[in-house]
């Protein structure tokens, strides 16, 4: 019997040889099964199968383009494209389950419809077809794994960006809550030294009122850059809010804290900020700091540093002040 007759077979020998799924598969071995298959033509955006489909079958794409749409319970949609030579619906055939995805024709498509029992019979008689299925599924898994890895990377980037102040590039309060808490716990557990700075730009409101908010933004950026340059790699600067900054200095003694505070203070005084209109601004900062004591929390340590900052500003601004606990405040 000739299997090349178009009246008896849905696809010709030539079309069979062009299908990736049938690569290295003998046409004669599957020709009898092809008699039970039919060609279906779909228009653009026509649904081929969805979650309500109960008749299991495999759909081999001859020409066109198909889109697989998977929707999770958390309203996350995942899609991928199926090109000619590949198939859809085979998982329902192999594991005897209902479809878990929606298949839509992205353009006018020609599909070979293979009933479930016929598809299983074809697999049983052709070792080469089994290998092709394994290869195709392996490629899909690799591709899906890459997509998952890329999505996780993007999610991590989004999470990290959510912890960065977009104007100054410093970490923000959200990052502070996590990292400062972790550093405080480490310091308390090991009885390590820890210093907290609170820093405020002097007369910042006057800058905004006199030169405008764009100038204020430029001041914030310049102060953040100068602060970063004045610190060590292990120090942890944060834009606390508005014109206020905080820094945790792990493993830092009182004497070293004083040196770092004086360096910040000096570098801020020497900083010149060029505005768009050519105006040169110079600003100063007030600094308050405190040392961790036993059973401190992030909030209690920052609160003591903030009280020292307030004392520095009340004492004339452009000053450094240490909170000495029961001994009061000490201007540096």
The residue to which tokens 């040889």 are assigned = 17
- Which one of the listed residues 90, 243, 269, 294 is annotated catalytic? 243
| Of the candidates 235, 240, 227, the residue with the CA atom closest to the CA atom of residue 256 | 235
Q: How far is CA 59 from CA 21, 155, 157, 158, 247, in A?
A: 11, 34, 39, 38, 62
DSSP symbol at 104 = E
In whole angstroms, give the CA distance from residue 256 to residue 43: 74
Within 8 A by CB and 6+ apart from 292, the residues are 184, 187, 188, 193, 194, 195, 196, 301
| Of the candidates 268, 230, 315, 269, the residue with the CA atom closest to the CA atom of residue 331 | 315
Beta bridge partners of 291: 195
| Of the candidates 121, 118, 292, the residue with the CA atom closest to the CA atom of residue 193 | 292
Told to judge if 243 belongs to the known catalytic residues of this protein, a careful annotator would answer yes
Name the residues annotated as catalytic: 243
């Amino acid at each position: 019997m000739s299997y090349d007759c178009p009246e008896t077979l849905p696809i010709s020998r030539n079309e069979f040889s062009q299908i990736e799924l049938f690569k290295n598969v003998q046409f004669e071995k599957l020709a009898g099964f092809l008699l039970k298959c039919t060609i279906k033509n779909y228009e653009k955006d026509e649904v081929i199968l969805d979650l309500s489909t109960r008749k299991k079958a495999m759909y081999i794409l001859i020409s066109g383009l198909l889109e697989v749409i998977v929707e999770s319970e958390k309203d996350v949609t995942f899609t991928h494209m199926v090109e000619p030579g590949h198939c859809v619906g085979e998982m329902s055939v192999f594991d005897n389950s209902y479809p878990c995805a929606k298949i839509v024709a992205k353009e006018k498509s020609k599909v070979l419809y293979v009933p479930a029992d016929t598809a299983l019979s074809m697999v049983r008689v052709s070792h080469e077809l089994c290998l092709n299925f394994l290869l195709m599924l392996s490629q899909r898994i690799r591709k899906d794994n890459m997509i998952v890895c890329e999505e996780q990377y993007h999610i991590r980037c989004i999470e990290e960006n959510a912890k960065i102040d977009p104007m100054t590039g410093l970490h923000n309060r959200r990052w502070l809550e996590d990292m400062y808490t972790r550093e405080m716990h480490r310091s308390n557990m090991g009885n390590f030294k820890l210093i907290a700075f609170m820093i405020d730009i002097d007369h910042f409101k006057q800058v905004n009122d006199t030169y405008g908010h764009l100038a204020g933004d430029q001041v914030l950026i310049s102060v953040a850059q100068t602060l970063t340059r004045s610190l060590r790699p292990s120090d942890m600067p944060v834009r606390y809010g508005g014109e206020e900054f905080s820094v945790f200095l792990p493993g830092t003694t009182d004497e070293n804290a004083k040196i770092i505070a004086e360096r910040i203070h000096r570098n801020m005084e020497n900083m010149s900020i060029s505005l768009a209109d050519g105006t040169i601004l110079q600003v100063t900062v007030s600094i308050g700091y405190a040392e961790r004591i036993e059973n401190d929390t992030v909030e209690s340590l920052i609160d003591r540093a903030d009280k020292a900052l307030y004392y520095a500003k009340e004492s004339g601004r452009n000053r450094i002040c240490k909170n000495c606990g029961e001994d009061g405040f000490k201007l540096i």
